[in-house]
A and B are shown apart, each in its own frame.
Chain A
Amino acid sequence: MKKLLYSTLAIAGLFLALSSCKKDYLETSPTDAVSQDDIFKTTKNAWNAINGIHRSLYIQYNGQQDQGGQSKNIIDMDMLGEDLVNPTTANGWFINTHRWLSHRTETSASSPFFNFQFYYDIIANANMIIANIDNAIGPDIDKKAIKGQAYGYRAWSYFQMIQLYGKRYDKAGANSDLGLSLILAPTTDKIVRSTVADVYTQIVADLTAAISELGAAAPRANVSHLNVNVVKGVRARVALAMQDWTLAAQFANEARQGFNLMSNTQYMQGFNNYTNPEWMWGSRQQADQTTFFYSFFAFMSADFNSTNIRTGPKCINSTLYNAITATDIRKQLWDPTGTNTAFPIPPGGARFPYMNRKFLSGGGSSSSIGDVPIMRVAEMYLLEAEARARAGGQEGAAASVLFTLVKQRDPSYVLSVNTGQALIDEIMFHRRVELWGEGFRFYDLKRLNMALNRNGANHVPAVASTMDVPAGDKRWEFLIPRTELNTNSNCVQNPL
């Protein structure tokens, strides 16, 4: 009896001993993520971190259909302007932005929340790279390419945002109104908002660093990466916004070196392929990275089969359109009649006068795949021309730069003899036509301290709702999203 007791206990003890687990039994880790330490162990791994930022420009955020990364900001900027016309409210996406309501609603899930979250996410990732890349094992040339791009992204992100959440930069003013919280290292601290001037100072500093790093880096693999031309292009945009005409012209000129303008045939190909010679920077998408209904092309193309496009294709301001000369290839991007069947539409799609075919979905009506342009060389021509025209004393040079671009679009174009405001107006007209739908109009109106005026064209008052916004109105500033106010007690709201 005792024997049995002991042997049972022995067996039980043995079982317990055997079943006690190995020490790493409780160490588990995900299979679809890697540890932060691993990412910055080598430069080879660290490339993943910068590629992740490239990718972040075209992923979906918050499960929202209007939040396809950079596309959303691009569309917002045109929705807030007067050059893009919504013939109907379609299925509602972007309409509250178009009506100037969304960006002034601090609790909105769309703008102003998204534009804040999206760029600050990029900044957080860029900060991780800047903080950790120096200790990674690998060639210096890779480190420069990675770090330079990180600086470039941080500067670009702040610049995209400061123009939304801060007051316009006024060269003549102190620019001491609140701008953005400057987050320059990985942190979770609650940082106060710096002044607009300070934010611009930081942007310039980052771009200077980026130009320096990328200037010494190996050539980029493709147009979805930043290189020294792109960061110079951003630098030129910044200078333009700061009304520093000389630097703007200089950087725009430097940025466009090595790029060609596209042919008129290429011009009609749908703005969806980054192999186009004019593209300086754009997101590349491949088939298994489908963006479904949050794609840029799900809202802006002529032909993708989304409810939004079927019921509300995007149109151009008729006044702007009518001013385009008949020989200009760009005149063919829009159909003033709304009956031209050469314009592709999705099955069951509605046609409206002045609807566009500038943007065509790379996958036609069945797939919203397509590359999204973020910087084209045409913009650099326009930027240089504008800067020189505004600088004074360089009008000849300005007209000449403009000529190079417009002659390419319109064979009948002759060198402008305009001067002064007339020349500036001519350049701005070409800028509006050339960059329609590419996310510039709100930024342009704001940096130039202009009013929004949607009257006298094909805007539908019931859709647009807001027809005028005076220059300098407080509505030119996006509200700080409520989430930031809730999570950062040191942050204060813009004037309501």
Chain B
Amino acid sequence: MSGMPSTNSIIEIIYLVAAALFILSLMWMSSPRTARRGVWAGELGMLLAVGGTLLHHGIVDYRWIAIGLVLGSIIGVPLGMVQMTAVPQRTALSHAFGALCVTLVGTSEFYLRAPNVPRFMMAVLSMEVILGSLTFTGSLMAAGKLEEFLPQRPITYKGQNVVNLSVLAAAIGVAAYVVVHPERTGLFPVILAVPLLFGVLMIVPIGGADMPTVISLLNSYAGLSAAAMGFVLDSKLLIIAGALDGASGFILSVNMSKAMNRSFSNVLFGAFGQEQAAVAGAQEARPVRSATPEEAAAILTAANKVVIVPGYGMAVAQAQHKVRELYDALSKRGVDVKFGIHPVAGRMPGHMNVLLAEADIPYDKLLDMDEINGEFPQTDVALIIGANDVTNPAARTDPSSPIYGMPILDVDKARTVMVIKRGMSAGFAGIDNPLFYLDKTLMLFGDAKGFVGDIVRELGGGHG
């Protein structure tokens, strides 16, 4: 051997550096101060890896690669420029694209190697293709529901879980058969098609408020399928990236299910939004106290400490910029204003933080549930905008409530509670919220954006 390193070992070293940059990238995500550096590290790693791959001696034709890279970039730019409210569906769509890539590569690898696929390889390849195709259709369905192409409400029927699990079991069964009998290549399309069906069926019973958990779970599947692809191609870099992505999605799904006090299986097979609808009808027309924007403004001005609790309703009403004006007006008067964010507020993990950051609210005012809950007893006013179930004290006190045990924001411990709400309809879970009937609670009926705007006007008017 000569002293010159071969192209292959140069590529391998480039991949090694890229893997290190990917890990650094995620390490720098730990704080908003270093997070942008994390993106740059990731970009550099990606650039190196793609550049290194182009040196690969097996590549004989660059035309299709160039077309793919250009076309992908053309599609990628608008996907990177979507509105912040549309980030959940964009994320679901990108999970679908990632899974599509993995599934297509897996399919090609199978037909390039068939019928002499070693057993372990066939097992990993099946895992890659099964996870990839169910993530593909599942994510497309999730994106469709989030974008409201498809009905958001969960669709359930009797025996749904049995049907879904049988479909998944069928896919795994056929894959296992092909592992043992690799010459039966005709069965491969079944391993591809059945999980595609399962992906659709899996998302049918999922409602809007379950989306944070489901998106995280699909994130995890996308990562694991990429890691499986790494095993098939013997690419350590892909195994590392897939494992990091899989771990990230897994941690987020665990966080989300904990925040809803539900197990994975309950989220995937529960669909409790439908079953509870009957309970809500039972109790109606209890008296509530309501207030006008003038009264609300007066109470807020008199407060020393205000905690605003935003929910998905705020995002739907596009009220975040008005909320920022309220934050500014109150801060100017010396009121201490903070935001209490429940982990499942919004349609994906951390969604509410992004929307508030976009409205220029400083991130050190955005506190997560564990940080803010200790502060409610010293809080003069808790102002709830478009949130419901995450503030329901029945989760703490009423063992018969379907959300009993779910960690909530303890807004009822504040001196005064104000709830901006369109009407008295129940939340996602269809559960009545006893918070609304407390003596300390004032209902502010109206559209979130309009009502907050009215309060801001009152505050401005009182000033000059």
**Pair from one complex:** no
Partner-A contacts on B (CB < 8 A): none
Partner-B contacts on A (CB < 8 A): none
